[in-house]
Amino acid sequence: MDLDETDRAILRVLRADARTPFSEIARRVNGTSDSVRDRVNRMEDAGVIEGYHAAVNAPALGYDVEALVGLEVTQRNVDDVLAALADIDAVRDRHLTAGEWDLVLRIVVEDTDALRTLVHDRIPGIEDVMRSRTTLVLDTETDAGGLQS
């Protein structure tokens, strides 16, 4: 789908606050509510907008430790390892990668005891996980919602 500057402006507004009313978006992009609604629907139908999500503050819920875990796995069973990892609530993101690690996980847990249990017992217990390395995340900066437009 080709996006024009108005589509990109709408995406910037929605990335900053997906609850922004169409009337407010229309004001910001010099359009009408109906035209914004049509453009948003078109971008949803084309898969440009995949959904709307609440950004949850993990530390506010008591999840104070975030880590990245690189895994080396047996290549013939990567899909099985990914499926096993999907069943672990603390594993927030699973990335299939090229490089030193076959998979990189983003993990969010309550404390270092929970992290230790996860990376010393639970993840190594998954068949075909050969080796791992854990890195604690100290701080995160993000572009607030995806690709620049």
Q: Model confidence over 96-149: pLDDT tens digits?
A: 999 999 999 999 999 999 999 999 999 999 999 999 999 999 998 876 655 544
What integer best gives the mean pLDDT of the chain? 93
When pLDDT is averaged across residues 38-64 and rounded to a whole number, the result is: 93
Average pLDDT value for residue range 86-104? 95
Domain boundaries in the chain? 5-45, 58-136
* Mean pLDDT calculated for residue range 26-48: 97
Is the per-residue pLDDT at 3 higher than 90?
yes
Pick the CATH number of 5-45 from 1.25.10.10, 1.10.3720.10, 3.10.20.30, 1.10.10.10: 1.10.10.10
**What token pair was written down for 42?**
């078109």
Residues 6+ apart with CB under 8 A from 3: 11, 43, 48, 149
Residue 55: pLDDT band by 50, 70, 90 thresholds? Answer: confident
pTM of the model as a whole = 0.75
Domain 58-136 bears CATH identifier 3.30.70.920: yes
What is the per-residue pLDDT for 54?
84
Tokens at residue 30, please?
A: 């010099």
| Separation of alpha carbons 103 and 95, rounded Å | 5
Q: Provide the pLDDT for residue 141.
A: 84
Burial of 73 (0-12, 13-18, 19+ CB in 10 A): buried
- Which pLDDT belongs to residue 70? 98
CA 124, 127, 133, 134 torsion: positive or negative? negative
